[in-house]
Structure 1
Amino acid sequence: MTATRPDLCFVVTKLSQYMSKPTVNHLGLAKHVLRYVKGTLDYGLKFGKSEAGLKLTGYCDSDWGSAGDRHSITGYCFKMSTHGPLISWKSKKQRVVALSTCEAEYVAISHAVQECNFLAQPYADITECQRDTIILFVDNQGAIALSKNPVYHQRSMHIDIRYHFIKSQIENGSVKLVYVPSDENVADMFTKPLSKGTLCKFSTIRG
Structure 2
Amino acid sequence: MEPKTQLHKDLEGTPVNATEYRRIITCLRYWLHTRSDLLFSIGMVSIYMERPTIMHLKVVKQILKYLKGTIHFGLVYMKRPQEIGIFGYLDSDIAVDLDGMKSTSGMTFYFNESLVSWNSQKQQKTVMLSSCEAEFMTATTAACHALWLRSLASELTDVEPKSTTLFVDNKSAIALMKNPVFHGRSKYIDTRFHFIRECIEKGQIVVEFVNTGE
C-alpha distance in 1 between matches for 2:61 and 2:151: 40
Task: Give the conservation status (yes or no) of the 8 Å contact 2:84–2:162.
Answer: no
Query: Normalising to structure 2: TM-score of the pair?
Result: 0.79
Give CA deviations for 1:87-131 in whole Å, capped at 9, x if unaligned.
001111112111111111101101111110221112113332124
1:144 — aligned with what?
A: 174
C-alpha distance in 1 between matches for 2:68 and 2:82: 35
Amino acid at match of 2:101: R
> How far does residue 51 in structure 1 lie from its aligned partner after superposition?
6.3
Amino acid at match of 2:63: V
2:101 — aligned with what?
A: 70
Report matched runs for 1:153-172 at 5 Å.
153=184, 155-172=185-202
Task: Give the conservation status (yes or no) of the 8 Å contact 1:102–1:143.
Answer: yes
Amino acid at match of 2:54: V
Q: Select the structure with the greater relative contact order (CA < 8 A; seq sep ≥ 6).
A: 1
* RMSD between aligned residues: 1.7
Task: Give the conservation status (yes or no) of the 8 Å contact 1:110–1:166.
Answer: yes
C-alpha distance in 1 between matches for 2:56 and 2:34: 24
> How far does residue 53 in structure 1 lie from its aligned partner after superposition?
5.1
Specify which of 123, 135, 139 is matched with residue 94 of structure 1: 123
Q: Which moved more, 1:161-170 or 1:30-39?
A: 30-39
For this pair of structures, how many residues does the alignment match?
Answer: 181
Amino acid at match of 2:87: T
Amino acid at match of 1:7: D
Amino acid at match of 1:89: W
Distance change (3 Å), C-alpha of 1:178 and 1:21: same
C-alpha distance in 1 between matches for 2:89 and 2:80: 19
> How far does residue 28 in structure 1 lie from its aligned partner after superposition?
1.4
Secondary structure of the corresponding residue to residue 77 of structure 1: strand
Report matched runs for 1:106-145 at 5 Å.
106-145=136-175
1:80 — aligned with what?
A: 111
Task: Give the conservation status (yes or no) of the 8 Å contact 1:56–1:123.
Answer: no
C-alpha distance in 2 between matches for 1:74 and 1:38: 27
% identical equivalent positions: 39
Amino acid at match of 2:156: I
Task: Give the conservation status (yes or no) of the 8 Å contact 2:109–2:115.
Answer: yes
Secondary structure of the corresponding residue to residue 99 of structure 1: coil
> How far does residue 17 in structure 1 lie from its aligned partner after superposition?
1.5
Kindly name which structure, 1 or 2, has the bigger radius of gyration based on alpha carbons.
2
C-alpha distance in 1 between matches for 2:170 and 2:101: 20
Unpaired segments ≥5 residues, structure 1: 185-207
> How far does residue 165 in structure 1 lie from its aligned partner after superposition?
0.8
Task: Give the conservation status (yes or no) of the 8 Å contact 1:138–1:177.
Answer: yes
Q: Which moved more, 1:43-52 or 1:94-103?
A: 43-52
Amino acid at match of 2:208: V
